[in-house]
Structure 1
Amino acid sequence: MSERLRVSTGSPWESVVGYSRAIRIGNVVEVAGTTAMKDGKVVGKGNAYEQTKYILQIIEGALKQVGAGMSDVVRTRMFVTDISQWEEIGKAHGEYFKEVRPVATMVEVKSLIDPELLVEIEVQAIMKSGEDEDEL
């Protein structure tokens, strides 16, 4: 059985709610829903593009802590409070994943945990085994 590696961001909510920012088991990494919060404050208030960029920076850091990278991401899920901002969110997503091109889902939700949060993103990554694999 593979070891479970956990990533914590030190958020006080992690222990209260009972979650980790990311978990790696074997070559699979799951990153929890991530928002643009830093030290209890929203980063990029009112700006979906800036929030998305900040979220992806946090995700990139979490992946790095378990030995993965953005190139290992195979799926993203984006939860947005205003789907009309899809282009700004998509632009930031594309800056990180233009070459990787993971499968992606973007859905509008009624609200997130803080009304100033516009975007929440979770990802799944599968780390390469080290062998050369043919692209389909």
Structure 2
Amino acid sequence: MNVRHISTGSPFEEQIGYSRAVVADGWVFVAGTTGYDYANMVMPESIEAQCANALATIGQALEEAGSGLDHVVRVNYIVLDKTEWSRCWPITSKAFAMAKPAATMISAQLQNPEMKIEIEVTARVPA
């Protein structure tokens, strides 16, 4: 099996021991991604800005893998406060307008108190 690992340079990847994405056999598995701006490790306050940042990071990892948001087949959203989830819908529906992936939303505690959303996706590398 040919496996390739993709990193965003997030300190969490090194500290915890994971890759932002793993490409294997035509699939791209993107780790749970939060809303940090990884260039300066700043977390925006609103769930909307965190959602947009997470999707931008995911999009960059997918592009590096030879895929993209239009090739996502599965997405898991983990939100801290389920009452805020609907505020992300305009952002997620735009990001996945073409892909229309199978999706799940889970409400759970996240790693750090400033985190409001974490997004994990699985995508195909187009032939």
Alignment match, 1:41: 42
1:19, distance to aligned residue in structure 2 (A) = 0.1
Contact 1:31–1:123 (Cα < 8 Å) also in 2: yes
Unaligned runs of at least 5 residues, structure 2: none
**Deviations 1:4-32 (CA, angstroms, capped at 9, x unpaired):** 11111112222221100001012100000
Partner-residue secondary structure (3-state), 2:83: helix
1:127, distance to aligned residue in structure 2 (A) = 2.1
Identity, % of aligned positions: 35
**Residue 96 (structure 1) aligned with residue 95 (structure 2):** yes
1: CA distance between counterparts of 2:19 and 2:102?
23
Alignment match, 1:132: none
Contact 2:75–2:119 (Cα < 8 Å) also in 1: yes
1:52-63 → structure 2 map (5 Å cutoff): 52-63=51-62
1: CA distance between counterparts of 2:50 and 2:12?
20
Q: CA RMSD in A?
A: 1.2
Contact 1:76–1:105 (Cα < 8 Å) also in 2: yes
1: CA distance between counterparts of 2:12 and 2:117?
18
**Residue 125 (structure 1) aligned with residue 126 (structure 2):** no
State the structure with more CA Rg.
1
Partner-residue secondary structure (3-state), 1:24: strand
Partner-residue secondary structure (3-state), 1:31: strand
Contact 1:36–1:54 (Cα < 8 Å) also in 2: yes
After TM superposition, which residue ranges in structure 1, 4 or more long, deviate above 2 angstroms? 38-41
1:116, distance to aligned residue in structure 2 (A) = 1.4
1: CA distance between counterparts of 2:22 and 2:63?
12
Alignment match, 1:134: none
Contact 1:49–1:91 (Cα < 8 Å) also in 2: no
Contact 1:52–1:89 (Cα < 8 Å) also in 2: yes
**Residue 6 (structure 1) aligned with residue 5 (structure 2):** yes
1:72-87 → structure 2 map (5 Å cutoff): 72-87=71-86
**Residue 15 (structure 1) aligned with residue 6 (structure 2):** no
Unaligned runs of at least 5 residues, structure 1: 130-136
Partner-residue secondary structure (3-state), 1:78: strand
Letter in 1 for 2:42: K
Partner-residue secondary structure (3-state), 2:61: helix
